[in-house]
Structure 1
């Protein structure tokens, strides 16, 4: 008979592997894009949809699958998501043409949405409450490890076994996770007299439509904003307006909009989107800055840029333990201060003190982000009613994904626009300063929400 400690570790392993698989599948494919373009005789613009289809499916479905888990059972849906993920990975590995591969990647992204949303939602019920922060920190570490490990692992598998291996290796990993979930996570427990499940399909469609059009508006055009981007953005706003209208008109909506009257939730979502936007700026802007300003090779740039995910992976679990010990509110405020200092330092010291003026703030920022994620996720999730944990976890993941999309698009465009050309060489130092001056402003806004959220909560209840 396994001990209770062993069962706790097995549950942690099941939830951690779910997060690892979803993040690893995001980054592992990037290294294979040139080979896929050659294999399928396609352009890089067409091959980019192998990445985009996965991200779009995960972003658009993550809230809906979180809510569905609340209604029909999170363990049951997580098992289904793992099976879908494994099946889609197999389809990717046997794809005979590019569009089949893109469709399979979209299905894989749908499975990954289930993994991302429900793993976080199940932390509070799978583990003792006093270990919530540590578990959230561990999940954050696994996400960072997946992001950092993806390109290296993908390169090794592809060079040894071909591009198909980066998909086929996901199958046994997903099945092992499925076994752990089935064996060690408690079965879903619903009252015997539970009424018929009512799921808001109209609201889910409108939200998915809005998120998909927003994501496409932010990612198509490779940083340039054209008529198609404007049309897609307009459609996203129309879709959100219709979604809000529908949620106020039905008895059992996908999202009870009154949730956003709770400052802890509202501020937690907004802060998550803001800080993720800033972190994504380092990933998008960094390679261009390092290549032009310091003339680094691709390998050297990869080493410098990997310092961020490595630090996040190493600090995730300690950050979770600090959260358990000192309280989530204190810790996410401290994390935002660290990120504010690092972003401001990058904005002011760029062009001085050489490469260290980029690496040191980058390390500080990612460490602060790991602490923020553990603390903010704990603060948002710890007091949520059982029947809403999937939905709230989905909204948290959605906030993060929207931050990634917005950071990649807007911060990248800001860097390009502010890098004023001097003859033939862009002024990347000036571009970096402007970009991170704006990033510093976003962190200040997040810190204001963190410091004055309690005051707003008091005013709201008066």
Structure 2
């Protein structure tokens, strides 16, 4: 890690020490932490918020959904906007928006004003998520890109793991407003670090001057993604006529978006990008793997509570094992990707995820908690290796004027996988459990549901392995020494 933060950029073959790069990485890491914390810390407060606003659980779920929808629909657009107007100024604006929106969330007098503030907070988070990875290409030597990506992955995992515990403490001691106001001091520190240490925006050689922002394409993409996300999340596991209509609208929106991009002078996403086999393969693998990872969150709590009969506190403790492993694995995974190459470690991560999924599908219930935690550790460690290597493979050689939009597409593929996994893997679990209400299913039915769900997960990951095997273009990055 010391080597990473003290390394400088290479200019004309000479290594130039950049002392402030450690502070650049600190600012980028905190940005990543903020965006993941914004999701996880709000989830734990939903029951309290339902009581505070005298609202149904379906209504308060929009507090989380508004945040996720804003990120999902806007992340590619804000990434491209950063490429055009300057990533530093847009990232600073995103951090400031997130911080101000956190204040508005904490001060909201009504539920719908809180939801609106959460949507604004999600826009700020979209900016931070899209541009932090893009900045790695400007501030970290290419040979150490993997370590920087691993650090960002670690901070994301820490934010996910920290949210429920920190939120619980704040709720019990200071009330629900504190779970949003807690973001404010961290946001201010992040803004100061980014303002002082991020490299000044400058036009890269060969970049076309004053390219226009593709407003039409951005609008079509946002509406399409919103329709898809709502189709996958509304109905609480039941796919009704509204879900079907939204899915049809999403398919129709894809056609409109593709047509708009073909006609645009400066398209949001150039059609030629999808002819890049490495990029399209990486995006597809990211979506598949994220779909599988969502199964651990959908199935895990029911299996631990109903089959293993753990109390709420123990369920929470066991579920924290995954984020903890991801936090500990991120930076080492980056080092390994830098040393052995992104392609090899992408495949290694996928194989580990598939192995863990198979173990969960065949391990008897008699093995108890260890029979669950062991495979989860394998899956999560594999995911950390895969995500770091996959992101490194894509971002290491991307053109400077497309870093923002490419980073946005990587984050979007992950979000789409998580959204799809919530619906699809949840449906597989319910179907395999042979019940319409998993919350009342017997222990044996839940155990059967878990085994079938992770058998399906293993098949999906093996499909990702097959995709990786068809694209040796992921070896664009030559393995570097440590």
TM-score by length of 2: 0.92
Select 2:442's aligned residue among 412, 425, 433. Answer: 425
2:12: which partner in 1? none
Distance 2:302 2:71 in 1: 28
Whether 1:262 and 2:276 are equivalent positions in the alignment is yes
Select 2:37's aligned residue among 13, 19, 24. Answer: 24
Distance 1:229 1:237 in 2: 12
Q: Secondary structure at the match of 1:295?
A: coil
Distance 1:37 1:121 in 2: 38
Structure 1 residue runs without a partner (length 5+): none
Distance 1:69 1:27 in 2: 26
2:242: which partner in 1? 228
Q: Secondary structure at the match of 1:117?
A: helix
CA contact (8 A) 2:95 2:191 kept: yes
Structure 2 residue runs without a partner (length 5+): 7-16, 477-482
1:443: which partner in 2? 461
CA contact (8 A) 1:311 1:367 kept: yes
Select 2:351's aligned residue among 328, 337, 343. Answer: 337
Whether 1:393 and 2:407 are equivalent positions in the alignment is yes
Whether 1:377 and 2:391 are equivalent positions in the alignment is yes
Whether 1:104 and 2:122 are equivalent positions in the alignment is no
1:127: which partner in 2? 140
Distance 2:174 2:141 in 1: 43
Distance 1:235 1:258 in 2: 25
Whether 1:200 and 2:218 are equivalent positions in the alignment is no
CA contact (8 A) 1:350 1:358 kept: no
Distance 1:119 1:456 in 2: 22
Distance 1:424 1:236 in 2: 34
Show CA shifts across 1:358-408 (max 9, x none). Answer: 111101000000011110000011010000000000000000000110111
Most deviating of 247-256 and 367-376: 247-256
Distance 2:183 2:222 in 1: 26
Distance 2:474 2:192 in 1: 45
Distance 1:271 1:424 in 2: 33
Change (3 A) 1:142 1:191: closer
CA contact (8 A) 2:334 2:385 kept: yes
Distance 1:455 1:36 in 2: 49
1:284: which partner in 2? 298
Distance 1:457 1:141 in 2: 24
CA contact (8 A) 1:58 1:112 kept: yes
Change (3 A) 1:333 1:402: same
CA contact (8 A) 2:278 2:474 kept: no
1:143: which partner in 2? 156
Change (3 A) 1:346 1:128: same
1:46: which partner in 2? 59
Most deviating of 427-436 and 132-141: 427-436
Distance 2:218 2:357 in 1: 37
Q: Which runs of 4+ in 1 moved over 4 A?
A: 2-6, 191-194, 421-424, 455-458
CA contact (8 A) 1:66 1:392 kept: yes
1:12: which partner in 2? 25
CA contact (8 A) 2:103 2:181 kept: yes
1:312: which partner in 2? 326
Distance 1:336 1:48 in 2: 32
Change (3 A) 1:248 1:42: same
Deviation at 1:353, TM superposition (A): 2.3
Show CA shifts across 1:423-460 (max 9, x none). Answer: 962611211111111101110010011122128999xx
Whether 1:189 and 2:202 are equivalent positions in the alignment is yes
Most deviating of 419-428 and 23-32: 419-428
Change (3 A) 1:189 1:446: same
Distance 2:475 2:275 in 1: 9
Distance 1:455 1:173 in 2: 40
Change (3 A) 1:191 1:373: closer
Considering only aligned residues, what root-mean-square deviation do their CA atoms show, in Å? 2.0
Show CA shifts across 1:54-93 (max 9, x none). Answer: 0000110000000000000111100010111111111101
Deviation at 1:420, TM superposition (A): 2.3
Show CA shifts across 1:15-47 (max 9, x none). Answer: 100000000000001111111111111111100
Q: Secondary structure at the match of 2:367?
A: coil
Whether 1:240 and 2:254 are equivalent positions in the alignment is yes
Show CA shifts across 1:223-254 (max 9, x none). Answer: 11011110111111111110011111122111
Task: Give the count of matched residue pairs.
Answer: 457
Alignment of 1:323-362 (within 5 A): 323-362=337-376
